Amino acid sequence: MSLELPVADSETPDSAALAEPAVCLGPRTGAAEALEVVRSAGPRLGYVAVADDGGFRGLVSVASLLQAEARRPVGDLARMPAAVVSGETSAERAAWLAARAGEDTVAVIDGGGGLRGLIPAHRLLALMMREHEVDLARLGGFLRGASRARTASEEAIGRRVWHRLPWLLLGLSGAAVAARIVSAFEGALESTVALAFFLPGIVYMADAVGTQTETLVIRGLSVGVSVSRIFRLEFLTGAVIGVLLSLAIFPLAVLITDDATVAAVVGLSLMTSATCATAVAVALPLLMQRLDLDPAFGSGPLATVVQDILSIAVYLGIAAALVDGA
């Protein structure tokens, strides 16, 4: 069975767009009467809603109705679900709340506490599957037109090239900038060839740390985690990781080069690059969000270019300062 959503493929819908009309009963309705309503509503119905003049009172599962005494009021069986959202809440956040709470249905309410509808499990699954594909496509550097990974993997060669080339051209420009930076430190590299041994490793580790941070930041933003909390925690985490990596690489660099100065350059550069990569990985998605763009477009190739240039500049700058001064 194909899971479809009642919204355009490029949209991230709000909860109201995914909500289905709910079967709503008064709290005094008996369980037997409620079951008759369920039978007439169709096989997909998993819950009935309970509401009165005061608003939404909770949900009763069909399983609970089957087990209850025939005259027992549904109000006694009602349970307020853990996942309750307003109609304007992002449907992606609603799905995240449901998954975190272990719920298979999300209740959507209005400003007055009345029930607008329910988002059932099959729509939550469809949304989560689509958002996963969208994130994969965007993190890979596709343009907004290639919003789904499955579509991108099946399209013609011309479209494949068009969706990837702009980001790759951006990366090529970054490579030219990086080459210019390296050429500016040609003297330091010629005098201490061992410095060149660790340049690829410094760049790779900065990219790896940044990619981890980007993933956490983007997912956090998509489900409404506090921006200030994300920045503080990730920046501190990046700094700690940088220190630990620096301590780990220093003895290895001494062993490989037999030069404590070069080892110090590598250690300090790795610590600084990891911290900078974390800052970039946090700042770019936040900047995209401030510009009202999808935060995922601040990741992938764009962040990689910036992180690579910064890590090369940091490494060679520290090398020039320490090696020349040694």
Going by their DSSP bridges, the two strands 106-109 and 84-86 should be labelled as parallel
Residue 159 pLDDT exceeds 80? no
Query: Which of 15-19, 156-160, 270-274 shows the lowest per-residue confidence on average (mean pLDDT)?
Result: 156-160
Q: How confident is the model over 23-32, as a mean pLDDT? A: 92
CATH number assigned to the domain with residue range 15-131, chosen from the 4 options 1.10.3720.10, 3.10.580.10, 3.40.50.20, 1.10.287.3510: 3.10.580.10
pLDDT exceeds 60 at position 49: yes
**Which of 127-141, 165-179, 305-319 holds the top average pLDDT?**
305-319
Strands 84-86 vs 55-61: parallel, antiparallel or unpaired = unpaired
Average pLDDT, the chain: 82
| Each residue's pLDDT tens digit, 113-136 | 889 999 988 888 888 887 776 666
pLDDT digits (tens, 9 = 90+) for 87-106: 888 888 888 888 888 888 99
Output the six-digit token pair for 148.
Answer: 């789904």
> CA–CA distance from 148 to each of 19, 107, 138, 164, 196 (Å)?
23, 28, 8, 14, 40
Which amino acid, one-letter code, is at 161? V
Q: Over 80: is that where the pLDDT of 220 sits?
A: no
- Give backbone dihedrals phi and psi of 117, rounded to 5 degrees, phi first: 160, 180
pLDDT tier for residue 141 given thresholds of 50, 70 and 90: low
Q: Concatenate the DSSP letters of all residues of 145-158 into one string.
A: T---HHHHHHS-HH
Residue 170's pLDDT is 82
Q: Retrieve residue 111's tokens.
A: 């400003």
Reported pTM: 0.59
User: Residue 292 corresponds to which tokens in the numbers above?
Assistant: 């009202």
Residue 192 has pLDDT above 80, yes or no: yes
CATH class of this structure's domain 174-325:
mainly alpha
Q: How far is CA 73 from the centre of its chain?
A: 43
Residue 213's closest CA among 307, 138, 129? 307
CA proximity to 46, closest of 115, 135, 120: 120
Burial of 215 (0-12, 13-18, 19+ CB in 10 A): middle
Give residue 12's pLDDT band: very low, low, confident or very high (50, 70, 90): low
Res. 1 pLDDT band, cuts 50 70 90: very low
Per-residue pLDDT at 2 exceeds 60: no
The total number of residues shown for the chain amounts to: 326
Task: Say which range, 164-168, 173-177, 317-321, has the weakest mean pLDDT.
Answer: 164-168
Q: What is the mean pLDDT of residues 273-299?
A: 76
Q: HSE, CB side, 13 Å, CA atoms: give it for residue 268.
A: 18
Q: Given a cut of 90, is residue 52 above it in pLDDT?
A: no
Is residue 158 pLDDT above 50, yes or no? yes
- For residue 160, name the pLDDT band (cuts at 50, 70, 90): confident
Query: In 110-226, which residue ranges form alpha helices assigned H by DSSP?
Result: 121-139, 149-154, 157-184, 186-191, 195-222
Domain locations along the chain: 15-131, 174-325
Query: Residues with Cβ < 8 Å from 122, sequence gap 6 or more?
Result: 3, 44
Provide the token pair at 33. 């009467």
What SS3 state is found at 39? helix
Of the listed ranges 16-30, 60-74, 208-222, the least confidently predicted one is 208-222
pLDDT over 70 at 284, yes or no: yes
Q: Is the pLDDT of residue 3 over 70?
A: no
pLDDT number for residue 171: 82
Instruction: Note the pLDDT of residue 253.
Output: 92
pLDDT score for 31: 92
Q: Cα–Cα distance between 185 and 175 in angstroms, integer?
A: 16
What pLDDT score was predicted for residue 224? 63
pLDDT tens profile 264-274: 999 999 999 99
Determine the angle formed by the axes of helices 227-257 and 195-222, rounding to 10 degrees. 160
What is the layout of strands, in order, in the sheet containing 115-119? Answer: 84-86, 106-109, 115-119
Helix (H) or strand (E) holding 60: strand 55-61
